[in-house]
């Protein structure tokens, strides 16, 4: 098998949930640059990202990883009770990094004023913005973003595209699963088309 | 990341020896029953009721064995991710729960004439009941989990923890105010304090129930492996 | 080292979320107080003041408080998939168990202290060996969280979770609860040797379960 | 009429979700069994077989089972804002309380039956007045859900929910639990007049709380 | 004050959450046809819809409603444990309607095969589709949809646009809060622009 310099890969990976095959012998190699995951509802995009992040047990096959992963799923994954800032500080410290970038990142994402309120009191879009600020606050090599445009307004979507473009230019591996947003195709280097558990790379 | 290994079916010799295992189990069960009912001497104190011993004690020990097997198979699954270990664990847990239920009932039937009650609160009995509930919980946990590897992993973790109750049940008679028989056979100091023909009958019964356990295991494990194969090939 | 630091971070996060609900600890304490009241009310004061019975009630209440507190902690994590965010971090899986045990043990020490003093005062119990009592209660409290957390992790995302956790946890806790009850009752009634040997057993329990938890819980989380 | 139909619909939905966990009731029963086991182990067999103590344990266990079951029911509702979907329906606010009480009462009757038989057998209790016992247990069971559900609704969306519910519920439950315990113990030991008068009190409790619940719960939900 | 024939309205409505004013003296009248609610993240769109649906207490002002309301929020609002079909049957029966339309609606939304699986085992988009099928299954006069395009794939979005258009043509009152989707503007009759709690109608 090949070696991967930076990024993540799945080899012959099969995922079974609820005794149903959700991903079928998938081979995916993600390297630096933007990889887009496309596919209709229920085709297995979320499962693929979770498999890359190691959040789902593989029934067969294996997963390789070079560098740390930042996975943001359909939900914002912030702990209720804590504020956005406290959540991001926890993540950054846990990775052994510093917390200096956090304030700036949250402010840039437009939640500067709300960053000390408990996250459950934020609107859906504000919560999404706070979780996307992690991309700047943690500066991790491999980014896995599942439908990150959901709930974002126009300004937020623009910022997210810039963020993705910048991460790509920095040589980070970015995997984005999303519907629509054809403008992302211009930034992408690779495509993974999912159909009912079968992946085709392009 | 470790792969889940699925056996390609039961080993070829399994189905071949299973009938013989069944015949041996049945035959030794008949011998043990005849010995227990007619050959072994009547107890000086208890009369004939004591003969329940030959069911009660072997079943208790085999329940212990079954739960220790669950424990070992659980370690095996976590270590190797070979699905056959999960099959062994579930088979052994089910048989263990069955045997525990049976020796509880047998003990209870024995308790009525000797102690005057069906059930009483004393350490051996309570810890046994707790062990029973624990493994019913183990089976519940399995039943509620959805997909294969999660089920196997969660069950394995619990199977490892639950085994701690086996020595506790065994040692519980040593606690103060136990009504139950103190260790007479498996005791630390000296040889068994039991009449030799009684001891022989007990050993033959133990042998018979061990074969029954082995027979059940081979049947249940094959069934489970067949299910796994069906699941993974569709 | 880094592993310990991460465990400390998880514990700190947990404690902070817990402190945000100013009534977290108060809640658990009230819970114990109500239970002690209730039982002494329905069981009758003579029986309730018996050293054995009082210790038994105290430990049963504490076991329930542990289960409730642990389930609440994980409920919070399941909202918005926060737990997944933690587990997806490098080393997150390994730090989870240790951090939760640490945080929960600290909360429980507080709860046990206040709840214990309350029981002593409400039931007007004489204490023969105060130092032994403290040692026994402390070790008993430390023995509770590991096993409860393991069971909550096992039942995570299963549908009958709220009912499954007590079923899985209580039988496993029985030996510990018996040891803690006997030890407490020994300390209350002046049996120093008894208190210390039960304390030793409790210590053994907490070490064994913590080691088991640290070893196998990471495998049990997806 | 339409109000009753809607209450029945909510109850049916609840029971269906409950039945999907084939062992939901089994779980609650096992829970009671474990508690009875545990308590008699720590309290000692003689005390545990006392009619007063046995009834007290049974009712405490049932109170916990009620609280757990109710919290589980609302946990399920809070996921994905399902509760909001129900409340947004015309008349949804009014049907919520009645439906939950109905469903929970049915589950509890089952749990109490099996749990009660288990306790009787396990503790080998003599029953002097079986019919009175059934009446008392039935009325006691019906008195539990209204108040617990009111409390859960009040605590809903408050952060310390899991711990707050027992605090709110238990003190309010104390009178009912005392009545149920005394009534049960009277029925066990042959005091017919005592059993019936406690049963009457329990009936009054359940009527009062149901009326209160039907009146104020709709206003308490947003 | 005016009377409304079919639809919903808020008069001088102020909403306070957490001691902060979220909606400030808002006057909104929603009649038959499509009303679009626009505004950046955190401007109060969700709060407005919840106020119309009666899910949020008004600190001042009042709410009028003619006809039943169907509100679908950011989350799909389906009860876990039950299947999609069972969820929809419950809603339809509760409204006193029949359940004949449900199977067809779920099938039309592409969750025909999954309609008997518990909803928590569905993918995010499948869950969204199941909840949108309520629009066809319950046939209610006033529809309040909060960001209904989230998680939908292209085919789902097309279907949703058709559904909205059809509901509008049937004379139902449809209120949609959404970012982007400029193509909806062609269908709309009225616009509500929200900015930090202040509403301007257009
Ligand atoms: C429901 C009631 C009973 C339960 C749950 C029970 C449980 C057990 C268990 C778990 C063992 C295995 C002991 C070990 O080796 O660790 C055992 C053994 C034994 N039981 Fe019972 N028992 C019950 C009633 C009785 C009664 C009524 C008698 C006789 C009066 C009795 C006599 C014995 C004897 C003689 C042994 C073998 C002890 C040895 O050699 O170690 N049991 N019982
Ligand atoms: N439960 C709450 N408690 C306190 N403040 C809240 C609560 N929910 C929302 N808010 C605040 O109210 C304001 C409006 O929130 P709302 O959810 O209505 O916005 P929105 O327009 O729907 O935003 P989005 O586009 O992100 O969905 C936000 O500033 C938010 O922080
Ligand atoms: N927990 C689960 N148990 C069983 N099946 C599941 C589970 N989660 C998802 N599935 C099924 O797996 C398939 C793929 O789901 P997945 O969430 O990966 O899809 P997706 O491509 O992300 O869809 P969407 O665009 O809707 O987000 C779907 O058919 C779904 O029903
Ligand atoms: Mg998805
Ligand atoms: Mg919103």
Q: What is the pLDDT of residue B70?
A: 96
CA angle D24, D29, D31 (to 5 degrees): 95
Instruction: Name every residue whose Cβ is closer than 8 Å to that of residue C61 and which is 6 or more positions away in sequence.
Output: C31, C32, C35, C36, C115
- The answer to whether the beta carbons of residues E75 and E27 sit under 8 Å apart is no
What is the interface size between A and B, counted as CB pairs within 8 Å? Answer: 32
Residues with CB under 6 A from ligand 3: A 17-18, 20, 22, 39, 41-47; E 114, 121-126, 151, 153
Q: What is the pLDDT of residue A134?
A: 95
Locate C10 and state its tokens. Answer: 């998880």
Cβ neighbours, 10 Å, residue E181: 16
Task: Find where tokens 């970015």 sit.
Answer: A174
Residues in A closer than 8 angstroms to E179, CB to CB, are 125, 151-154, 157
Q: What is the pLDDT of residue A1?
A: 39
Sign of CA pseudo-dihedral E92, E144, A128, A39: positive
- The answer to whether the beta carbons of residues B152 and B211 sit under 8 Å apart is no
Per residue in D104-158, pLDDT (tens digit) is 899 889 888 888 887 887 777 788 888 999 999 999 999 888 887 877 776 665 4
Find, in chain E, the residue whose alpha carbon is nearest to that of D76. E80
Q: Which of C165-174, D7-16, D22-31, D46-55 has the highest mean pLDDT?
A: D7-16
Q: Is the predicted pLDDT of residue C84 greater than 60, yes or no? A: yes
CA C15 from centre of chain: 15
φ, ψ of residue B5 in degrees (nearest 5): -100, 130
**From ligand 2's centre to the CA of D159, what distance in Å?**
18
Best of D61, D73, D160 to mutate (most C CBs within 10 Å, chain C): D160
Ligand 1 atom with the shortest distance to the CA of B171: 16
Q: Do C88 and A69 touch (CB under 8 A)?
A: yes
- The answer to whether the beta carbons of residues A129 and E179 sit under 8 Å apart is no
- E178 against D66, higher pLDDT: E178
Q: What is the pLDDT of residue E76?
A: 92
Q: What is d(CA C162, CA C171) in angstroms, rounded to the nearest whole number?
A: 16
The Cα diameter of chain E in Å comes to 49
Range of lowest pLDDT (A174-188, C52-66, E114-128, E173-187): C52-66
In this prediction the ipTM stands at 0.83
Per residue in E107-141, pLDDT (tens digit) is 999 999 999 998 988 999 999 999 999 999 998 99
Cβ under 8 Å to D: E residues 85-104: 86, 90-91, 93-96
Ligand 1 atom with the shortest distance to the CA of B106: 1
The Cα diameter of chain A in Å comes to 49
Locate B28 and state its tokens. Answer: 């030794």
Over the range D40-77, which residues count as b (16 or more CB within 10 Å of their CB) and which as e?
bbbbbbebbbbbbbbbbbbbbbbbbbbbbbbbbbbbbb
User: A175 vs chain B: nearest CA distance in angstroms?
Assistant: 21
Does B133 touch chain C if contact means CB atoms closer than 8 Å? yes
Q: What is d(CA E85, CA E81) in angstroms, rounded to the nearest whole number?
A: 12
List the single residue in D21, D37, D45 with the smallest CB-CB distance to B122.
D45
- Residue ranges covered by each domain of chain A: 1-67+141-202, 80-135
Q: Is the predicted pLDDT of residue E88 greater than 90, yes or no? A: yes
Locate A199 and state its tokens. Answer: 């992946």
Q: What is d(CA E13, CA E27) in angstroms, rounded to the nearest whole number?
A: 7
- B72 against B114, higher pLDDT: B72
Q: Give the 3-state secondary structure of chain B.
A: CCCCECCCCCCCHHHHHHHHHHHHHHHHHHHHHHHHHHHCCCECCCEHHHHHHHHHHHHHHHHHHHHHHHHHHHHHHHHHCEHHHHHHHHHHHHHHHHHHHHHHHHHHHHHHHHHCCCCCCCHHHHHHHHHHHHHHHHHHHHHHCCCHHHHHHHHHHHHHHHCCHHHHHHHHHHCCCCCCCCCCCCCCCCCCCCCHHHHHHHHHHHHHHHHHHHHHHHHHHHHHHHHHHHHHHC
- The answer to whether the beta carbons of residues D77 and D88 sit under 8 Å apart is no
User: Which CATH code of 3.40.50.300, 3.30.1330.40, 3.40.50.2300, 3.50.50.60 fits the domain covering A1-67+141-202?
Assistant: 3.40.50.300
Cα dist from B181 to B38, B104, B165, C200, whole Å = 23, 14, 19, 28
Q: Do C154 and B168 touch (CB under 8 A)?
A: no
Per residue in E43-70, pLDDT (tens digit) is 999 999 999 998 888 889 999 888 889 9
Q: What is the pLDDT of residue E105?
A: 95
Nearest CA to ligand 1 atom 10: B60
The ligand with the least distance to the CA atom of E121 is: 3
Q: What is the pLDDT of residue B143?
A: 84
List the single residue in E76, E81, E96 with the smallest CB-CB distance to D2.
E96
Q: Which of B56, B104, B135 to mutate to test the pocket of ligand 1 (most atoms within 8 A of CB)?
A: B56
Does B115 touch chain D if contact means CB atoms closer than 8 Å? no
Q: Give the 3-state secondary structure of C77-143.
A: HHHHHHHHHHHCCCCHHHHHHHHHHHHHHHHHHHHHHHHHHHHHHHHCCCCCCHHHHHHHHHHHHHH
Best of D32, D40, D45, D118 to mutate (most B CBs within 10 Å, chain B): D45
Q: Is the predicted pLDDT of residue D159 greater than 90, yes or no? A: no
Mean pLDDT of chain E: 91
List the single residue in C21, C35, C162 with the smallest CB-CB distance to D159.
C21
Per the DSSP assignment, residues forming a β-bridge with A72 are A145
Locate C142 and state its tokens. Answer: 């430390």
Q: Is the predicted pLDDT of residue D12 greater than 90, yes or no? A: yes
Task: Find where tokens 């596919």 sit.
Answer: A39
- The answer to whether the beta carbons of residues C114 and C36 sit under 8 Å apart is no
Locate D143 and state its tokens. Answer: 């008195």
Q: What is the pLDDT of residue B144?
A: 78
What is the spatial order of strands in the sheet that E20-30 belongs to? Answer: E20-30, E7-17, E60-66
Q: Which of D29, D22, D48 is nearest to D118 (CA)?
A: D29
Ligand 1 atom with the shortest distance to the CA of B105: 1
Ligand 1 atom with the shortest distance to the CA of B129: 5
φ, ψ of residue A173 in degrees (nearest 5): -90, 120
Q: Provide the percentage of residues in chain E whose pLDDT is more than 70.
A: 97
Q: Do D174 and C60 touch (CB under 8 A)?
A: no
Q: Do A81 and C89 touch (CB under 8 A)?
A: no
Nearest CA to ligand 1 atom 25: B107
Q: Provide the percentage of residues in chain D whose pLDDT is more than 90.
A: 19
Instruction: With H, G, I as helix, E, B as strand and everything else as coil, classify residue E37.
Output: strand
CA atoms lying within 13 Å on the CB side of residue C180: 28
Q: Is the predicted pLDDT of residue A149 greater than 90, yes or no? A: yes
Using CA atoms in the order E38, E44, E45, E50, what is the torsion angle rounded to 10 degrees? -160
Q: What is d(CA C74, CA A6) in angstroms, rounded to the nearest whole number?
A: 34
Q: Provide the percentage of residues in chain C whose pLDDT is more than 70.
A: 84
Does A59 touch chain B if contact means CB atoms closer than 8 Å? yes
- C128 against C134, higher pLDDT: C134
Instruction: With H, G, I as helix, E, B as strand and everything else as coil, classify residue E35.
Output: strand
Q: Which of A68-82, B215-229, D123-137 has the highest mean pLDDT?
A: A68-82
- A108 against B122, higher pLDDT: A108
Q: What is the pLDDT of residue D26?
A: 58
Nearest CA to ligand 2 atom 28: E42
Q: What is d(CA A133, CA B227) in angstroms, rounded to the nearest whole number?
A: 47
Instruction: Name every residue whose Cβ is closer than 8 Å to that of residue E170 and which is 6 or more positions away in sequence.
Output: none
The ligand with the least distance to the CA atom of E152 is: 3
Q: What is d(CA B225, CA B227) in angstroms, rounded to the nearest whole number?
A: 5
Q: What is the pLDDT of residue C46?
A: 67
Q: What is d(CA D85, CA E127) in angstroms, rounded to the nearest whole number?
A: 14
φ, ψ of residue A42 in degrees (nearest 5): 80, 10
Q: What is the pLDDT of residue B232?
A: 67
Does E76 touch chain A if contact means CB atoms closer than 8 Å? no
Per residue in B153-187, pLDDT (tens digit) is 889 999 998 898 898 888 877 765 556 776 666 65
Per residue in D168-205, pLDDT (tens digit) is 666 677 788 889 988 999 999 889 999 999 999 999 98
Instruction: Name every residue whose Cβ is closer than 8 Å to that of residue C102 and which is 6 or more positions away in sequence.
Output: C7, C8, C10, C11
Q: Do E155 and A40 touch (CB under 8 A)?
A: yes
Q: Is the predicted pLDDT of residue C220 greater than 80, yes or no? A: no
Does C79 touch chain A if contact means CB atoms closer than 8 Å? yes
Residue-wise DSSP of C24-44:
HHHHHHHHHHHHHHHHHHHH-
Q: Which of B32, B31, B26 is nearest to B57 (CA)?
A: B32
Residues in E closer than 8 angstroms to A126, CB to CB, are 41-42
Task: Find where tokens 């309010």 sit.
Answer: D172
In this prediction, residues B67-96 reach a mean pLDDT of 92
User: B65 vs chain D: nearest CA distance in angstroms?
Assistant: 24
Rg (CA), chain B: 19
CA angle E80, D211, D215 (to 5 degrees): 70
Nearest CA to ligand 2 atom 8: A121
Mean pLDDT of chain A: 90
List the single residue in C23, C34, C53 with the smallest CB-CB distance to D160.
C23
Does B116 touch chain D if contact means CB atoms closer than 8 Å? no
Residues in B closer than 8 angstroms to D122, CB to CB, are 119
Helices D51-78 and C161-189 cross at an angle (nearest 10°) of 140
In this prediction, residues D211-216 reach a mean pLDDT of 82
In this prediction, residues E131-153 reach a mean pLDDT of 93
Q: What is the pLDDT of residue D121?
A: 77
The ligand with the least distance to the CA atom of E150 is: 3
Residues in C closer than 8 angstroms to D27, CB to CB, are 160, 163-164, 167
Q: What is the pLDDT of residue C60?
A: 79
CA atoms lying within 13 Å on the CB side of residue E149: 25
Q: Which of C193, C167, C26, C13 is nearest to C86 (CA)?
A: C13
Q: Which chains touch B (3 or more CB pairs under 8 A)?
A: A, C, D
Q: Is the predicted pLDDT of residue C22 greater than 60, yes or no? A: no
Residue-wise DSSP of A137-169:
HH--SEEEEESTTTT--HHHHHHHHHHHHHHHH
């Amino acid at each position: 098998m090949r070696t991967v310099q930076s990024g993540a890969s799945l080899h012959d990976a099969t995922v079974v949930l609820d005794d149903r095959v959700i991903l079928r012998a998938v081979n995916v190699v993600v390297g630096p640059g933007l990889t887009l995951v496309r596919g209709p509802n229920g085709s297995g995009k979320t499962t693929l990202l979770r498999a890359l992040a190691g959040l789902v047990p593989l029934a067969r096959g294996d997963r390789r990883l070079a560098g740390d992963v930042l996975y943001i799923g359909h939900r914002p994954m912030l702990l209720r009770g804590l504020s956005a800032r406290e959540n991001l500080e926890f993540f950054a410290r846990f990775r052994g990094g510093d917390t200096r970038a956090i304030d700036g990142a949250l402010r840039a994402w437009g939640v500067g004023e709300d960053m000390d309120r408990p996250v459950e009191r934020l609107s859906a879009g504000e919560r999404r913005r706070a979780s996307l600020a992690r991309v700047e606050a943690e500066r991790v090599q491999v980014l896995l973003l599942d439908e990150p445009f959901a709930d974002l307004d126009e300004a937020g979507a623009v910022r997210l595209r810039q963020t993705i473009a910048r991460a790509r230019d920095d040589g980070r591996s970015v995997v984005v699963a999303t519907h629509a947003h054809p403008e992302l195709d211009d930034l992408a280097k690779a495509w993974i088309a999912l159909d009912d558990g079968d992946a085709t790379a392009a | 990341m470790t792969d889940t290994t699925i056996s390609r079916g039961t080993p070829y010799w399994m189905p071949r020896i299973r009938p013989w295992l069944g015949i041996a189990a049945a035959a030794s069960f008949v011998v043990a029953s005849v010995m227990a009912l007619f050959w072994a001497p009547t107890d000086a104190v208890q009369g004939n009721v004591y003969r329940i011993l030959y069911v009660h004690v072997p079943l208790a020990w085999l329940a212990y064995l079954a739960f220790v097997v669950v424990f070992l198979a659980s370690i095996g699954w976590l270590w190797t991710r070979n699905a056959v270990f999960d099959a062994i664990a579930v088979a052994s847990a089910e048989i263990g729960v069955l045997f525990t239920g049976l020796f509880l009932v047998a003990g209870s039937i024995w308790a009525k004439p000797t102690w005057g009650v069906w059930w009483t609160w004393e350490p051996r009995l309570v810890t046994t009941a707790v062990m029973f509930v624990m493994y019913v919980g183990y089976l519940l946990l399995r039943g509620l989990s959805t997909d294969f590897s999660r089920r196997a992993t969660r069950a394995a973790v619990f199977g490892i923890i639950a085994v701690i109750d086996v020595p506790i049940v065994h040692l519980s008679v040593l606690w103060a105010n136990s009504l139950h028989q103190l260790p007479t056979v498996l005791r630390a100091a000296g040889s068994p304090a039991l009449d030799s023909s009684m001891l022989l009958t007990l050993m033959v019964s133990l042998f018979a129930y061990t074969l029954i356990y082995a027979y059940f295991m081979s049947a249940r494990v094959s069934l489970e492996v067949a299910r796994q194969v069906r699941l993974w090939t569709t | 080292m880094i592993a310990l630091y991460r465990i400390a971070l998880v514990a700190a996060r947990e404690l902070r979320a817990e402190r945000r609900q100013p009534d977290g600890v108060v809640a658990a304490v009230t819970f114990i107080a109500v239970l002690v009241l209730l039982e002494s009310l329905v069981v009758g004061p003579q029986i309730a003041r018996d050293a054995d019975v009082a210790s038994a009630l105290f430990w049963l209440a504490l076991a329930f408080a542990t289960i409730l507190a642990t389930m609440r902690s994980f409920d919070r994590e399941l909202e918005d998939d926060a737990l997944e965010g933690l587990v997806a971090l490098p080393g997150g899986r390994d730090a989870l168990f240790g951090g939760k045990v640490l945080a929960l043990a600290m909360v429980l020490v507080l709860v046990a202290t206040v709840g214990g003093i309350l029981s002593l005062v409400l039931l007007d119990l004489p204490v023969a060996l105060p130092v032994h009592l403290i040692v026994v209660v402390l070790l008993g409290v430390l023995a509770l969280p590991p096993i409860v957390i393991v069971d909550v992790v096992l039942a995570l995302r299963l549908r009958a979770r709220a009912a499954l956790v007590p079923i899985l946890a209580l039988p496993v806790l029985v030996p510990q609860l018996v040891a803690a009850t006997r030890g407490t009752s020994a300390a209350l009634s002046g049996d120093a040797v008894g208190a210390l040997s039960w304390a030793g057993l409790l210590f053994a329990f907490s070490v064994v379960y913590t080691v088991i938890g640290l070893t196998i819980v990471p495998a049990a989380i997806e």
